[in-house]
Amino acid sequence: PTSAPTGSPRPVGSNQSAAAAVRACCASLAAAARSAKDEGGKAMNEQAAQLCSRKVKPVSDGKLTRAKALAEVRSSLLGPAPGACR
């Protein structure tokens, strides 16, 4: 019997959709920074948005999973993450 190859890379399309999900999180964080009522909230969301933007390429290249990238972004926040980052 023939079995499917193990360890095969994920299709490129799924990497692109994962990268799009990370970009959506970045956009949500940038919006949260713009609408923050205090400097601390603004700075925290800006920093998280910058970290988030650095995760897009590794996700797109298949070197980092969407879940891992978003978990790293969430861990940089001191408060709740926007819905797009969950």
- Dump pLDDT digits (tens) for 2-54: 544 554 455 557 899 999 999 999 999 999 999 999 999 999 999 999 999 99
State pTM to two decimals.
0.83
Residue the block writes with tokens 């070197």:
63
Q: What is the pLDDT of residues 15-24, one digit of tens each?
A: 999 999 999 9
